[in-house]
Amino acid sequence: MRGLRLLLLALAGLLVFLQYRLWVGEGGSRSVARLQQQVQQQAHENQGMQQRNDALAAEVEDLKSGEAAVEERARSELGMIKPGETFYRVVEPEGAAPGPEANTEPKPE
């Protein structure tokens, strides 16, 4: 009888220990939930970076394949003009309120 009680007590202790490890310990449900949250955050960050990479890859392909993109960048960022073209800049008087069409300078991207 005493041996049976000792065995039951040992099994109950083992059950409590295993339940503790399952719920609280390393690899338990809390750490799994925390890891799943980290995976979701990383996947969201990766998606944003993938969109950025796709946009950069498209821009690189544009610059490699066409003169139009290079010409557009030269005009907007460097203020270059083609030979034979004449550049006109319209300057508003000091007191005039400029409208949206008055700004002729290229906008930086």
Does the residue 105 lie in any domain?
no
Does the residue 84 lie in any domain?
no
Does the residue 74 lie in any domain?
yes
Give me the number of domains the chain comprises. Answer: 1
The CB-side HSE value for 36 (13 A sphere, CA atoms) comes to 7
Does the residue 55 lie in any domain?
yes
Please report which confidence band the pLDDT of residue 104 belongs to, taking 50, 70 and 90 as the band edges. low
Does the residue 56 lie in any domain?
yes
Task: Give the residue with greater pLDDT, 54 vs 3.
Answer: 54
Percent of the chain with pLDDT over 70: 87
Does the residue 61 lie in any domain?
yes
Region 3-9: mean pLDDT is 89
| Residue tagged 């409208």 (tokens) | 99
**pLDDT recorded at residue 98:** 59
Does the residue 101 lie in any domain?
no
Tens of pLDDT, residue by residue over 36-62, are: 999 999 999 999 999 999 999 988 887
Does the residue 91 lie in any domain?
no
Q: Read off φ and ψ for residue 87, nearest 5 degrees.
A: -95, 125
Nearest-angstrom CA–CA distance, 86 and 23: 76
- Parent domain of 47: 2-78
